[in-house]
Structure formats: structure tokens, C-alpha cells
């Protein structure tokens, strides 16, 4: 028999639980950077622009939430790469939809759009579940995010 945990009213909603973990711009920027592959703390900081204390807090939250893991690459002094877990990789379609929503409804004239290159057809695609050029599904393994 599977063990379940009872949650208080708002926490019984999976949308609320997910929003509590993900509902922060620094979390989403860290995830966006990690979709490109494992990164060291300094590289994550450069890609997100987050202050060290903010990035540390958000990475700890992602680790505790099971979305990111800290993998040692050097013992002395201890150094780590941060990489997505299977659960973290599972957020890719959700982030694509957030990108699509943001481009469609939350225009920002000064923003540099992130371009998606679909490796199966080699063309740039608008954000969404399927490539806007060939119609095939966009997945973490067949899309690269390019800064414009």
C-alpha cells in the first residue's frame, strides 16, 4: 500500500504546490540555464544575473524539491556542478509554454527573445509543444536555446 501525506487545504492542490516551488523569477532563470546542461555555480550566476545569496537559496530550494542535484567534480576544495534531475527535465514542456505565453501576452519591447532551434529540422521555432516549422514535438533532447 502506498503511503500518502495529508496536506492542508491550499497545499492539497498540485498547482499550488508547484507554484510554491517554481513561482520565482530566479528559479525559472536557473532552470532555463540548466536546460542547456550541467553548470558550475559561477556559470549559473553569470547566466541568471542573480546575486550569490539569492542563487544559493534558490538552488537549495530546487535541490530540496528534487529538481536539481549537486554533483561533485573536485574534492579539494569541494566544487560542484548543478544538473537537472528527471523531475527537473520534466519541466521543459511547461517552461516552453511559459515562454509561449510570455511572447504572446506579455510583450516587452526591450527583451531579447530566446530562440529555439529544433535539431530535427534545423530551423528556428517559436515556443510551444511542437516545432512551428515542421510540426514535430519539441523535447529537451532536440531543442537548443539560443540567445539572440
Domain ranges for the chain, please list them.
10-89, 92-147
- pLDDT tens string 25-59: 999 999 999 999 999 999 999 999 999 999 999 99
- pLDDT tens string 59-109: 999 999 999 999 999 999 999 999 999 999 999 999 999 999 988 898 888
CATH of domain 92-147: 3.30.40
Q: What residues contact 15, with CB distance under 8 A and at least 6 apart? A: none
CATH of domain 10-89: 1.10.10.10
- What is the reported pLDDT for 143? 94
- pLDDT class of 4 with cuts at 50, 70, 90: low
Q: Model-level pTM? A: 0.85
Are 10-89 and 92-147 the same fold in CATH? no
Amino acid at each position: 500500500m502506498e503511503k500518502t501525506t495529508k496536506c492542508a487545504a491550499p497545499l492539497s492542490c498540485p498547482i499550488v504546490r508547484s507554484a510554491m516551488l517554481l513561482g520565482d523569477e530566479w528559479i525559472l532563470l536557473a532552470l532555463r540555464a540548466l536546460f542547456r546542461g550541467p553548470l558550475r555555480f559561477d556559470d549559473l550566476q553569470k547566466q541568471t544575473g542573480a546575486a550569490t545569496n539569492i542563487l544559493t537559496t534558490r538552488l537549495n530550494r530546487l535541490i530540496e524539491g528534487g529538481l536539481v542535484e549537486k554533483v561533485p567534480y573536485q574534492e579539494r576544495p569541494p566544487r560542484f556542478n548543478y544538473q537537472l534531475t528527471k523531475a527537473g527535465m520534466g519541466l521543459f514542456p511547461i517552461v516552453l509554454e511559459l515562454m509561449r505565453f510570455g511572447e504572446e501576452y506579455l510583450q516587452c519591447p526591450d527583451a531579447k527573445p530566446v530562440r529555439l532551434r529544433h535539431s530535427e529540422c534545423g530551423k528556428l521555432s517559436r515556443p510551444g509543444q511542437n516545432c512551428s516549422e515542421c510540426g514535430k514535438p519539441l523535447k529537451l533532447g532536440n531543442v537548443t536555446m539560443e540567445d539572440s
